[in-house]
């Protein structure tokens, strides 16, 4: 999906009027920070949901702290390239990371050498929220229900192709898990991010998608893609007719592609506290919630300690599944 991350973000933040309001108030605790521009590494290509969230935050933090915050896209290896760079950067508060379940849970578990420890090598600052994975089919495939897709895959003499944002992504994991459980052949077609994957899916070059709702929602609304099932715990209010995989008998497949903000280990505590406060205020604001709700992202403010505990629980839940489904094969582009 190509997000409108230029004028739309500026308009959104203008309407927001600043989630925290007063830049001077935001800088009272530690006036020496930030003394120079702050880089937010987004370890995925421009144009996807992670990039959108990073740019919304950069615009807001620039205004609040009266210092430049900017996004640097550094994709590769399902987010691990950019994440490793941040893990090994100086903990001076000038390098932050748009983190998430692809880079900090799934890909490291499936890789023999991720280049970082997702718990020990990062300071986890703030949780944003997540969009559920949705299974879609191009309208030319002629299926309108998940059971129809399974039937078609069983009858297909060759493997049915499905796209995801990349090897080691949550979409990849879900696709491989379903193929094993249903004993069907599914050929994974990885991309270097959601924006590239959705382009080929919408064009019909690959017929099935296992991707975040964020990326596919506009094309579901337009009718180009048929939504077959969603991995949320309950049906989405704006798509009440779309069944969950849970109600179809897959109780274990309830998850979201969640996004968050982290930094290198040992970030100063006061910097973490201030960033957490400002990011929570931003993503809990009415204007930003309304924007993210269009793509089924549900922000959930957490303290740094709560967020660090959440990351640990996600690793316990999905790490073993990732290793079993992906075989510790090492994540690529």
Task: Give residue 136's pLDDT.
Answer: 97
Residue numbers of the domain that contains 194: 132-239
SS3 290: helix
Q: What is the pLDDT of residue 12?
A: 53
Same domain, 217 and 273: no
Cα 177 from Cα 183, distance rounded (Å): 10
Cα atoms in the 13 Å half-sphere on the side-chain side of 118:
31
* pLDDT greater than 50 at residue 3: no
pLDDT tens digits, one per residue of 76-106: 887 899 999 999 999 999 999 999 998 899 8
Residue pLDDT, tens place only, 108-118: 887 888 899 99
pLDDT value at residue 27: 45
Q: What's the pLDDT band for 7 if we cut at 50, 70, 90?
A: very low
Contact 34, 74 (CB under 8 A): no
Average pLDDT over residues 251-270: 92
Q: What is the pLDDT of residues 48-65, one digit of tens each?
A: 788 989 999 999 999 999
Tally: H helices and E strands in the chain: 13, 10
Residue 325 pLDDT greater than 80, yes or no: no
Let me know whether 56 and 120 are in one domain: yes
Considering the domain architecture, whether residues 269 and 216 belong to the same structural domain is answered as no
Q: Is 333 a member of any domain?
A: no
Average pLDDT, the chain: 86
Question: Residue 252 falls within a domain, yes or no?
Answer: no
pTM: 0.76
* Same-domain pairing of 292 and 232: no
Residues 140, 230 within the same domain? yes
106 and 176 in one domain? no
Sign of CA dihedral 210, 215, 218, 219: negative
In a domain, 311, yes or no: yes
**Is residue 159 in some structural domain?**
yes
Q: CATH number for the domain including 285?
A: 3.40.190.150
């Amino acid at each position: 999906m190509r997000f409108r991350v230029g004028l739309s973000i500026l308009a959104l933040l203008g309407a927001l009027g600043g989630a925290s309001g007063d830049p001077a108030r935001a800088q009272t605790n530690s006036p020496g920070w930030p003394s120079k521009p702050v880089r937010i590494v987004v370890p995925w290509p421009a144009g996807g949901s992670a990039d959108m969230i990073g740019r919304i935050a950069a615009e807001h933090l620039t205004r609040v702290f009266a210092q430049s915050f900017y996004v640097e896209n550094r994709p590769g290896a399902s987010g691990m390239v950019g994440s490793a760079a941040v893990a090994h950067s100086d903990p001076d508060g000038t390098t932050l990371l748009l983190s998430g379940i692809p880079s900090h849970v799934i890909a490291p578990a499936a890789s023999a050498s991720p280049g970082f420890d997702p718990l020990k090598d990062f300071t986890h600052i703030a949780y944003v929220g997540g969009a559920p994975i949705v299974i879609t089919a191009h309208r030319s495939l002629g299926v309108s229900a998940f059971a129809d897709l399974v039937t078609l895959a069983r009858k297909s003499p060759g493997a049915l192709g499905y796209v995801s944002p990349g090897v080691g992504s949550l979409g990849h994991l879900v696709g491989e898990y379903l193929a094993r459980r249903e004993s069907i052949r599914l050929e994974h077609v990885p991309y270097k991010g959601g924006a590239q994957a959705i382009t080929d899916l919408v064009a019909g070059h690959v017929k099935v998608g296992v991707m975040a709702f964020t990326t596919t929602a506009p094309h579901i609304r337009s009718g180009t893609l048929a939504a077959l099932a969603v991995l949320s715990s309950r049906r989405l209010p704006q798509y009440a007719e779309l069944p969950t995989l849970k109600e179809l008998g897959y109780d274990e497949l309830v998850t979201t592609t969640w996004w968050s903000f982290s930094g290198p280990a040992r970030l100063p505590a006061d910097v973490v506290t201030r960033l957490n406060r400002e990011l929570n205020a931003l993503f809990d604001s009415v204007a930003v919630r309304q924007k993210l709700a269009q793509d089924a992202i549900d922000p959930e403010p957490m303290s740094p300690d709560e967020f660090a505990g959440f990351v640990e629980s996600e690793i316990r839940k999905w790490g073993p599944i990732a290793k079993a489904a992906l075989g510790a094969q090492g994540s690529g582009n």
